């Protein structure tokens, strides 16, 4: 892993002319839209109160991932059971669209990310990440980008800054953690996703959402996945500029 990081460091440049607003307001690729399931966003406060109990508010995001570690020293997160977040029996009677809408609405403005994908896409992500657990993605911050180092070990994803990982290795603290819940994969063809922004000084909710969707696209899209394979299995052939090009970011 150390040799891989040294090799990658030599290949990552830092152009400084693109705004985060442009990145968030425009799709990163025409192929990305085919990688995600989308459900119309609807607010239903009464249903939300019925399905998701108030004790969810006591779940602190920092405690959720306090003991996590990275790379070869990775220890699975102590996942919060889904039945401690919502009433599963009542949720079973709701349509997939209602369930996803409630899940997404509940996380808005709470320092968390709520999302979902189809079961088929989750299984593809699970399969591909089993042999390709790491990747790097540029995140635009004002006048330049910071490179994020990602580890995927389903049902979790961990994100931290590449510079922090290079400096601290397996002791690097994650900026953002993601957990997938498969309880409704068979019955409703839905996998719920919860993201926790651990350091709000490092990432906004919008940036975390973009990182999640972009990472999924690299594992779920056949063309983009070739870059993930190259990063993990043929590091000497990996070029960071190819990632910038895939995301339609300027190459400096």
pLDDT digits (tens, 9 = 90+) for 176-223: 999 999 999 999 999 999 999 998 899 999 999 999 999 999 999 999
> How do strand 176-181 and strand 144-153 relate by DSSP bridges?
unpaired
Q: How confident is the model at residue 111 (pLDDT cuts 50, 70, 90)?
A: confident
Contact present, 151 and 158 (Cβ < 8 Å): yes
* Separation CA 246–CA 225 (nearest Å): 11
Ramachandran angles phi, psi of 137, nearest 5°: -135, 135
pLDDT computed for residue 142 by the predictor: 81
Question: pTM for this structure?
Answer: 0.71
Higher pLDDT, 5 or 65: 5
Integer-rounded Cα radius of gyration of the chain? 18
In terms of average pLDDT, the best of 49-58, 64-73, 82-91 is 82-91
* Separation CA 243–CA 107 (nearest Å): 30
* Separation CA 223–CA 228 (nearest Å): 10
Interval 146-161 mean pLDDT: 95
Higher pLDDT, 74 or 111: 111
Residue 8 has pLDDT above 60, yes or no: no
Ramachandran angles phi, psi of 147, nearest 5°: -95, 125
Q: How confident is the model at residue 251 (pLDDT cuts 50, 70, 90)?
A: confident
Residue 26 has pLDDT above 50, yes or no: no
Name every residue whose Cβ is closer than 8 Å to that of residue 104 and which is 6 or more positions away in sequence: 41, 114, 115, 116
What percent of the chain is predicted at pLDDT more than 90?
Answer: 50
pLDDT computed for residue 58 by the predictor: 24
* Separation CA 113–CA 179 (nearest Å): 10
């Amino acid at each position: 892993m150390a040799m891989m990081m040294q090799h990658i460091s030599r290949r990552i440049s830092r152009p400084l002319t693109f705004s985060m607003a442009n990145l968030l307001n425009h799709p990163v690729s025409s192929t990305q839209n085919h990688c995600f399931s989308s459900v119309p966003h609807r607010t239903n406060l009464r249903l939300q109160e019925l399905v998701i109990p108030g004790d969810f508010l006591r779940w602190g995001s920092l405690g959720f991932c306090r003991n996590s570690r990275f790379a070869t020293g990775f220890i699975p997160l102590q996942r919060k059971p889904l039945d401690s977040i919502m009433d599963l029996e009542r949720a079973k009677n709701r349509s997939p669209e209602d369930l996803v809408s409630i899940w997404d609405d509940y996380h808005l403005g709470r320092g968390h990310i709520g999302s979902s994908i189809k079961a088929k896409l989750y299984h593809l992500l699970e399969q591909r990440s089993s042999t390709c657990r790491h990747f790097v993605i540029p995140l635009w911050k004002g006048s330049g980008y910071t490179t994020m180092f990602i580890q995927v070990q389903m049902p979790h994803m961990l994100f931290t800054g590449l510079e922090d990982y290079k400096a601290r290795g397996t002791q690097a603290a994650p900026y953002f953690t993601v957990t997938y819940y498969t309880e409704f994969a068979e019955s409703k063809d839905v996998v719920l996703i919860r993201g926790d922004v651990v350091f709000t000084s490092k990432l906004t909710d919008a940036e975390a959402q973009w990182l999640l969707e972009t990472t999924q696209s690299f594992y779920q899209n056949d063309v983009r996945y070739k870059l993930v394979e190259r990063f993990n299995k043929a590091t000497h052939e990996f070029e960071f500029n190819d990632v910038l090009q895939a995301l339609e970011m300027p190459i400096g």
